[in-house]
Each structure stands twice: as C-alpha cells, then as structure tokens.
Structure 1
Amino acid sequence: MPTASLSAGQVKYADTGGDGPVLVLLHGVNMSGSLWDGVVTRMPPDVRCITPTLPLGSHRRPMARADLVTHRGVSALVGELLEALDLTDVTLVLNDWGGAQFLLADGPNERVAAAALVACEAFDNFPPGRPGKAIADSARVPALLWLAMQLQRFGWFRRAPGGWGWMSKRPVPTAVMDEWFRPAQQNRGVRRDLRIFAMSTPGAAELSALVDRLPSFDRPVLVVWATEDRLMPREHGPRLASLFPQGRLVEVDDSYTLVPVDRPEVLAQELVQLASSVSPGR
C-alpha cells in the first residue's frame, strides 16, 4: 500500500486508479479501508476509489503526533490527505465515524465536491450506541482497553449482542476482523492512539455548534441510513439530510450500521450516481 506522510504521521491507503469520479471512503473505529472492499469491487473501472486506513485503532504504525489523533485532528488529517494526493472534485464518504463532518463544516473543504454520510455518528450520538460507549469507557483505563482488544480474538465476543453483533447483520469475515483488531492487540502505541481518540469525544456544546454550521456545506450531500440500524437512530437520517441545502435521503433495508458490509451493491449504485453528478471544477 502507498503511504501519505501527514502532520500526525504516516497514513496508508489503497488507490484503484481510474480517470473518472474520485471517491475517498472513510471507516470507523477498529476498522481499516478494507471495510469498503465489497463496494469498491462493484464500482465501474473508471471510478477512482481511495480507501485510507485512519489512525482509529487498526493502523499498523503508531502516529508520530498522538496529540493530533482526536476527532477534529483526524478530520484535519483527511483534509491533509486530499491535499497530499492533489485530489479535486472529491466525493467524500463516511460510515460509522462521523467526525469528518468537522471538515465539511469548517474546512478546508474546497477539494470536496460532494459528500455521502452513511449511517454515521451525528448530533449527540458520539460515540454511537453501546459498542461505541464501551470502547470510550474502556479507554479511560489502559488495562481495560487492552482487555477489550484481547477479547476481540473470540468469535463469540465479536458477535455478542450489544457489541459488534449490532454493527452488521452479516458477519464480517474472520480474516478481516483479525486484520482490524490485530494492531491494537499487539501494539501499545496503536492502543495509545486509540485511547487518545476515544477520549476526545466532543462535548454537547461542541456537537450542537457543529450542527449549526453544517448547512454551510452547500454541495450535494447523500445521507444513507439503515432502517434496522441499532446504533444510529433512524430519525437522525432525515434530520441530517434536511440540514444541507442539497441534502437527499436514501433509506436502506436489511442492514445495520455497516452498510458497506450488509448492502454493498445498493451503496455502490448510490455512490456512483452521486459521484457522477459532480461537475468538475464546480
């Protein structure tokens, strides 16, 4: 995988190439860019898909500047990545983690021509549901975070109700989840980054102010929400879409939060439509 050297450290990413629309697809905590594999393989060959692995617990190399691994800091890293790769007219796609909304609201977002918010954190739902809050709680004590990561070695724990079993209706392949959890299980520096990130959850006042600023992003925004989601309240989908001047809501059945895992074919079709609508040099 190629690597981008950013202010916080090195970020690896996959890049399919292609001379058509550009999508940058972002994942959540304890996941990597491989979350999007089922979507990327369904894309037309000219669509360029870039899937970075952000420092959210599944990155293999600890960050050089751990103090920058916060919700706002990682959002800024996404902006740095777009600049480092000299990407323009980007369709930015979020799933699970919603912190990149700070980039949409506050910039610099000149390189972002459209956005898709797919079953992600929004409003006061930071961190989302019981799984997110469990990671945030365990992060307060390093030994508990270590234990939480070690328990993820076991399939029964991964699919337990209230945990990863609520993230997707269809189990994520064992080899993929092994890849996601191994860095935090084995590397103290990665756990340090994850701990700092988990403890940086914005407060209620900051999240409320973010909501007030989101309508300033006046480009096309697709909000994709799973009707059976157990972590992201269903009412957040239409509410989020209504914030944006060019917001549009699509609800997806037969899926939990990880729509890229549960319904990749539907999501790929919607993302191609959105990205194809972007006017170059808007």
Structure 2
Amino acid sequence: MPHIELSTGTIDYVDTGGDGPVIVLLHGLMMDSSLWDGPIARLSDGHRCVAPTLPLGAHRRAMPAGADLSLPATARLVAEFLDRLDLQDVTLVGNDTGGALVQLLMAEGAARVGRAVLVSCDAFDNFPPGLTGKTLVLAGRLSPALFGLFMQQMRLRALRRLPIAFGWLTKRGDAATARWLAPVLERPEIRRDTVRLLRAAAADPRFLIAAAERLPLFDRPALVVWAAQDRVMPPEHGRRLAELLPQGRLVEVEDGYTLLPLDRPDELARIIDEFVPVEGLRQV
C-alpha cells in the first residue's frame, strides 16, 4: 500500500490509478480505507479511486505526539492530501464521519472538489452520532490504557453486534469491523492517538451545525445517499442535506444500515457510477 508524509504525519492510501475521473473516498471513526473495498472493485473500471486511511482509530501509522487530531484538522489533512497528489476535479465521497469531513471541506470551498457524495453520515446536531458515537466519545475520557481494556470487549462478536458498538451501523460487515479494531487493541500508540481524537471531538461537538450554514454556498453537483432504515443517522438529515445544497439530490437505499459500502456495495457503486461522468458520456 502506498503512503505519503503529510504535515500531521504519514498515512497509507489505496490508489487504483488510471486516467478516469478521480473519486476520493473517506471513512469514519474506527475504520480504515477497506470500508470502500467493495465499491472500489466496481468503480475502478473507468474511474481512478483513491481511499486514504485517516488517523481515526483504525490507522496503523501512529501520528506524532503533538499532532492535531480534531476532525476539522483531519479535514485539512484531506485537503493537503488532495494537493500533494495534485488531484483535480475530484468527486469527494464520505460515509459515517467521513461524510462529516466532506461537509467541512464543502463549507470551506474545496477548490479541488468538483462533486460531493454524502453517504449516511454525521450531520447537523447528530454528533457524536447514535449510541455508538456517544459510547465511543465517553470511552475517550479514559486513559489510553483503560480505553484499551474497555475496547478488549469488542473481540467478542456478540458485543460488536450491540447497538452501542457496530450493531446498528452494519447488517453484514462484522468481519470488517473486527479487522478495524485490531490496531487499537494491539498497539498502545494507536490507543493514544484514538483517545486524543475522541477528546478533541468531545470538545467541539457542534462543528457540523456551523458547517451546515455554509453548505448552500457549495454550488457544484452533490448527491446524498442514505440508508432508508438507518438507526444512527436519521433519514430526515439526508433529506435536509439534499435540500440545503443548490444542486443536491437524494437517493435512499433499502436493506442496509449506515455503512452502505459494506451492506450494499454494488448498489452504492452503481449510484456513484451514474453520478460521475466518464469521458463526457454520462450526465448528472
């Protein structure tokens, strides 16, 4: 897996290469770029898919001790990532807290972003989102060592499937969630990073409300894709986001929870594929 050294630290990323339109895909808290493996398998035929593993709790390269791990800082890290790879006219896609990062970039103008896709994500006052987010942020008050002990419970599938863990986030993705937990369970430096980012998130829980006020300024094509039965990200928020965006459009997806890249990868890839023109042959 390629990696790149940025101002906050070194991150890994997936890059399928090619000359097609660029799609950059962002994951959420306690996840890595493999969230997008299913959609990328379909989208990479015709598109260049780039998926960074951000320092959000499932990363494998620890950040420097003084790095700013707040979500606004992580959004700036994504902007720096786009600059360093010189990616142009990007379709920026985010799911879960990755969608929050996309909103922050949209609110700031995001010059390199030509289109945006928000997939069942944190929005407005829904941060930390649901029982999962609230439990995780509360656990971030613990010391890194105690946080590690708390997270050891997640080795058990029955506990991972609870609503306070991943149970309401995905119907079918337990294997991926178990894999994402490995870094924080096994490496003290990743636990340290995770506690820092959770404490930073707790210190500024209303950042998406301010971002939403600026979303009407994003005058480029925008697609909102929402799980119709989402229990963590209210479907009403998907409708509100689509209404706020001047070129916004909403698509609801059945038979999946928040993590649609895991639950409905082919359907999500089809929706994104139709939204992103290839060689001028398709229109929005």
**Shorter-chain-normalised TM-score: which range?**
over 0.9
* Cα distance in 2 between the residues matched to 1:278 and 1:117: 23
- Correspondence 1:82-97 to 2 at 5 A: 82-97=82-97
- Counterpart AA for 2:140: A
Residue 263 of structure 1 and its aligned partner are, at CA, apart by 0.8
* Cα distance in 1 between the residues matched to 2:51 and 2:66: 22
SS of residue matched to 2:67: helix
Give the structure 2 partner of residue 237 of structure 1.
238
1:77 aligns with 2:115: no
Give the structure 2 partner of residue 34 of structure 1.
34
Give the structure 2 partner of residue 2 of structure 1.
2
Identity of aligned residues (%): 49
Deviations for 1:51-100, whole angstroms, at most 9, x for unmatched residues?
A: 11000011111112543111101000100110111100100000000133
SS of residue matched to 1:88: coil
SS of residue matched to 2:13: strand
Query: Taking structure 1 as reference, are residues 151 and 82 closer, same or farther at Cα in structure 2, changes over 3 Å only?
Result: same
- Counterpart AA for 2:106: L
- The alignment's TM-score, normalised by the length of structure 2, stands at 0.92
Query: Taking structure 1 as reference, are residues 31 and 168 closer, same or farther at Cα in structure 2, changes over 3 Å only?
Result: same
- Counterpart AA for 1:239: R
SS of residue matched to 2:38: helix
- Counterpart AA for 2:225: V
- Correspondence 1:187-226 to 2 at 5 A: 187-201=187-201, 203=204, 206-226=207-227
Give the structure 2 partner of residue 149 of structure 1.
151
Q: After the TM superposition, which parts of structure 1 deviate over 4 Å for at least 4 consecutive aligned residues?
A: none
- The answer to whether the Cα contact below 8 Å between 1:13 and 1:33 also exists between their aligned partners in 2 is yes
* Cα distance in 2 between the residues matched to 1:66 and 1:121: 27
Residue 196 of structure 1 and its aligned partner are, at CA, apart by 1.7
Give the structure 2 partner of residue 267 of structure 1.
268
Residue 272 of structure 1 and its aligned partner are, at CA, apart by 1.1
- The answer to whether the Cα contact below 8 Å between 1:11 and 1:53 also exists between their aligned partners in 2 is yes
Q: Which runs of 5+ in 1 are unaligned?
A: none
* Cα distance in 1 between the residues matched to 2:271 and 2:66: 36
Give the structure 2 partner of residue 162 of structure 1.
164
- The answer to whether the Cα contact below 8 Å between 1:28 and 1:95 also exists between their aligned partners in 2 is yes
Residue 204 of structure 1 and its aligned partner are, at CA, apart by 5.8
SS of residue matched to 1:83: helix
Q: How many residues align?
A: 276
- The answer to whether the Cα contact below 8 Å between 2:172 and 2:262 also exists between their aligned partners in 1 is yes
- The answer to whether the Cα contact below 8 Å between 2:128 and 2:205 also exists between their aligned partners in 1 is no
1:67 aligns with 2:62: no
- The answer to whether the Cα contact below 8 Å between 2:92 and 2:102 also exists between their aligned partners in 1 is no
- The answer to whether the Cα contact below 8 Å between 2:103 and 2:212 also exists between their aligned partners in 1 is no
Residue 44 of structure 1 and its aligned partner are, at CA, apart by 5.0
- The answer to whether the Cα contact below 8 Å between 2:16 and 2:44 also exists between their aligned partners in 1 is no
* Cα distance in 1 between the residues matched to 2:50 and 2:274: 17
Query: Taking structure 1 as reference, are residues 20 and 192 closer, same or farther at Cα in structure 2, changes over 3 Å only?
Result: same
